[in-house]
Amino acid sequence: MRIVVVGTGYVGLVAGTGFAEFGNRVVCVDTDASKIRLLEQGQIPIYEPGLEELVRRNAAEERLLFSTDLAAATPGADVVFIAVGTPPRADGGADLKYVMAVAESLAKVLTRDTVVVLKSTVPVGTNDRVQALLDREATVKVTVVSNPEFLKEGDAINDFMRPDRVLIGARDEHGRSVMRKLYAPLQLNHDKLLFVDPRSAELAKYVANSMLATRISFMNDIARLCEVVGADVSNVRKGVGSDTRIGNKFLFPGPGYGGSCFPKDVEALLFLAREHGVDLSLVRATEEVNSRQKALLFEKLVKHLGSVADKRIAVWGLAFKPRTDDVREAPALTLITRLVEAGAEVRAHDPAARNTTRAALGPIADKVIFVDHPYDATVGADALVLVTEWQEYRSPDLERLSNQMRRKLLLDGRNVWPSVDPESQGFTYEGIGLLRPQGGGAST
């Protein structure tokens, strides 16, 4: 099939490359000429394991092309994906200006009957709005389908190639038949396509992320309770997660969720509910708990050190999760900002997110020392704080840390260090909700 993907951000680039890998001819279109030049040179503007190799291979085999010219890309296209950003507005709603701008442009350039697929995360009713616009302004018949993405950053290629389900909101058989053909390579073992109405597909995306966020916030609240009553959250998690009705995923406490999806989608769902006079009190509490949780690591530092002014704090992990350079709403940003404002000296390391962290911190980035090696951050440190559990941080050299650090204080924001027994090496060690060092953690 001939496919056009408008938007070469995280969603668009992964989807476009994935469809090219299936043997389709794909043109990825973006208004950012510098980004298109970068992609044409075989480089990608985001950090996602395995993606750069796929982009280069499919581009070399001329299945994947890049362009800034939408009009030149669309003739002959069977399917056009809209995969542009929907950033949050000040009031919490999703900003649809980029989606609607693409729809308006498509109305002018489409020259044959086409299926337009909304891949962007959009509020309920957006499919109807785009369909109405194209019905009114396009000179050809356009069928608008919703196909929200459920990709995990850091594992997006695997999620695209081996999804547990593909959700499709279509209002007619033509849209469904085109999407069946498009996703046929995924149907070899069993049917993974779930066909629903467009509004249900749009809402399901927000609900899925909000439900996962709720599980995280719930366990973060339980971890706080564990610290007060003398229970161990790792054991509580095992006892709860072994119930097959609940399962063990997204039950690991931490310093709060971040990233491009959970915070934005929770806020957007709350905005949608308010618009329609519905009080989603549980979702609202999820957001409130997460905001409070992001202050926890700073509070633990103050508990151990008193004032952090003039203290040297080493921070391991800046991205909101491992295997990505995404720091949007990352807990590390909250911690570093609080530390700098309190007069601490911050030394930070992350395998991938140094540049994105600098950009996100803005003016205060100049007050943070970013190091090339994780142990460089710990020289003379009064505390080491693990915020993101990259693999290279999971088995720290305690002897080296003991020799380098001024104070032997380890704060483990992901509960991944109990197994290395820091206390036996003379460290003061504290995780989140742990009664005593045992068990382990995993990324949320």
What would the two tokens of residue 84 be?
């542009």
Q: Among the options 73, 138, 157, 261, which is catalytic?
A: 261
Q: Which value, to the nearest 10 degrees, does the dihedral of the CA atoms of residues 294, 296, 298, 303 take?
A: 170
Cα Rg of the chain, angstroms: 24
What would the two tokens of residue 35 be?
């980004």
Measured distance CA(304)–CA(107) in Å, rounded = 61
Give the closest residue to 215 by CA, choosing from 267, 255, 252: 252
Residue with tokens 């952090």: 308
Please calculate the CA angle 50-255-203 and round it to the nearest 5 degrees: 65
Is 28 noted as a catalytic residue in this protein? no
By annotation, the residues acting in catalysis are 261
